[in-house]
């Protein structure tokens, strides 16, 4: 079975994966994906056997703990999900799980998956204190345990880190880095609250400098972002970077009428190809 993303994540790349993969080399020595989120691009590349090694990372500790738990103890995660009773979810049960503070890695992962699948619209949102505050959304969830096992297999030899997007000079010739940060807002109501720390213009400018640094080393670097003046300025300033415009449908809007196609950009700098 081919692994698919096991979490719904705002800004997920399921609809734009084909375009992103077409802009990557056929052979990749080491694939890096900071700002991992739902990992749609990683799982698509893994299903094609495109990379020799992979390093994935994110600043969200609960997210990283979830993937680590699935990697090392998927059966423990499955048992912890079953104990939560996912097929009958009342608001009271949801709020009890939301308020819980599990300590074991498998229980952390089970709670994360449960809240992601039964919370309102699959959002992950925290308040200024870092507390998850998404309201109840669904009365039931039928977990795909076989996909969780496939995810565990895909992650088996992958290095999973909790760290910012700065990769510390690790990528080299023949490697590929794909950045999918929280997007620059195109409107005041744009959703960007993935964490209490936020990801503002200064972080995007820093990411642009990291992108340029890796490009100068001959690394293939790609970055997704919203189609707006600031994102275009950042990536147009990097020599030999191609900017592709992509139309995607976003499903995170609470108003169904707002789930229309929006424009995004994919900045691409092709590095050294493996022979």
Q: What is the pLDDT of residues 168-180, one digit of tens each?
A: 889 998 899 999 9
Q: Tell me the pTM.
A: 0.91
- In a shared domain, residues 147 and 170: no
Last residue of a domain, one of 100, 127, 153: 153
- In a shared domain, residues 264 and 213: yes
- In a shared domain, residues 120 and 172: no
- In a shared domain, residues 51 and 71: no
- In a shared domain, residues 225 and 99: no
The residue ranking higher by pLDDT, 31 or 271, is 31
Average pLDDT score, the chain:
90
User: Would 216 be classed as within a structural domain?
Assistant: yes
- In a shared domain, residues 185 and 260: yes
Distance CA 1, CA 197 (A): 37
- In a shared domain, residues 221 and 178: yes
Evaluate whether 265 touches 246 at the Cβ level (below 8 Å).
yes
Number of domains in the chain: 2
**pLDDT at position 189:** 46
- In a shared domain, residues 182 and 259: yes
Structure tokens at 154: 């895909």
- In a shared domain, residues 262 and 167: yes
**pLDDT at position 126:** 86
**pLDDT at position 15:** 80
Evaluate whether 203 touches 229 at the Cβ level (below 8 Å).
no
- In a shared domain, residues 77 and 125: yes
Last residue of a domain, one of 153, 182, 214: 153
71, pLDDT greater than 90: yes
CATH code (residue 120): 1.10.1020.10
For the chain, the residue count is 275
- In a shared domain, residues 105 and 220: no
**pLDDT, average across residues 57-74:** 97
User: Would 231 be classed as within a structural domain?
Assistant: yes
Return the exposure string of 100-134: e unless at least 16 CB atoms fall within 10 Å of the residue's CB, then b.
Answer: eebeebbbbbbbbbbbbbbbeebbbbbeeeeebeb
User: Would 2 be classed as within a structural domain?
Assistant: no
Q: Tell me the pLDDT tens digit for each residue of 7-27.
A: 998 877 778 999 999 999 999
CATH code (residue 26): 3.40.50.150
Last residue of a domain, one of 119, 153, 187: 153
**pLDDT at position 188:** 53
**pLDDT at position 230:** 96
- In a shared domain, residues 178 and 255: yes
User: Would 99 be classed as within a structural domain?
Assistant: yes
Percent of the chain with pLDDT over 90: 76
User: Would 3 be classed as within a structural domain?
Assistant: no
32, pLDDT greater than 90: yes
User: Would 12 be classed as within a structural domain?
Assistant: no
Structural domain of 83: 66-153
């Amino acid at each position: 079975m081919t692994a698919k993303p096991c979490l719904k994540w705002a800004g997920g790349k399921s609809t734009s994966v084909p375009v992103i993969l077409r802009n990557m080399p056929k052979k990749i020595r080491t694939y890096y994906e900071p700002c991992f989120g739902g990992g749609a691009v990683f799982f698509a590349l893994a299903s094609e056997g495109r990379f020799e090694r992979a390093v994935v990372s994110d600043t969200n500790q609960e997210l990283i703990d979830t993937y680590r738990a699935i990697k090392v103890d998927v059966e423990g995660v499955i048992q912890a999900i079953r104990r939560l009773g996912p097929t009958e979810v009342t608001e009271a049960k949801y709020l009890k799980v939301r308020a819980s503070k599990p300590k074991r890695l498998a229980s952390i992962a089970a709670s994360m998956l449960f809240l992601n699948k039964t919370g309102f619209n699959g959002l992950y949102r925290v308040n200024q204190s870092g507390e998850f505050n998404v309201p109840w959304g669904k009365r039931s969830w039928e977990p795909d345990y076989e996909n969780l096992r496939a995810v565990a297999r895909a992650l088996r030899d992958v290095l999973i880190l909790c760290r910012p997007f700065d990769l510390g000079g690790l990528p080299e010739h023949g490697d590929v880095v794909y950045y999918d940060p929280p997007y620059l807002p195109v409107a005041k109501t744009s959703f960007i609250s993935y964490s209490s720390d936020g990801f503002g213009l200064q972080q995007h400018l820093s990411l642009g400098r990291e992108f340029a640094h890796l490009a100068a080393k001959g690394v293939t670097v790609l970055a997704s972002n919203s189609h707006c003046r600031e994102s275009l300025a950042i990536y147009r300033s990097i020599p030999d970077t191609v900017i592709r415009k992509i139309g995607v449908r976003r499903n995170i809007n609470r108003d169904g009428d707002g789930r229309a196609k929006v424009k995004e950009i994919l900045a691409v700098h092709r590095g050294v190809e493996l022979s």
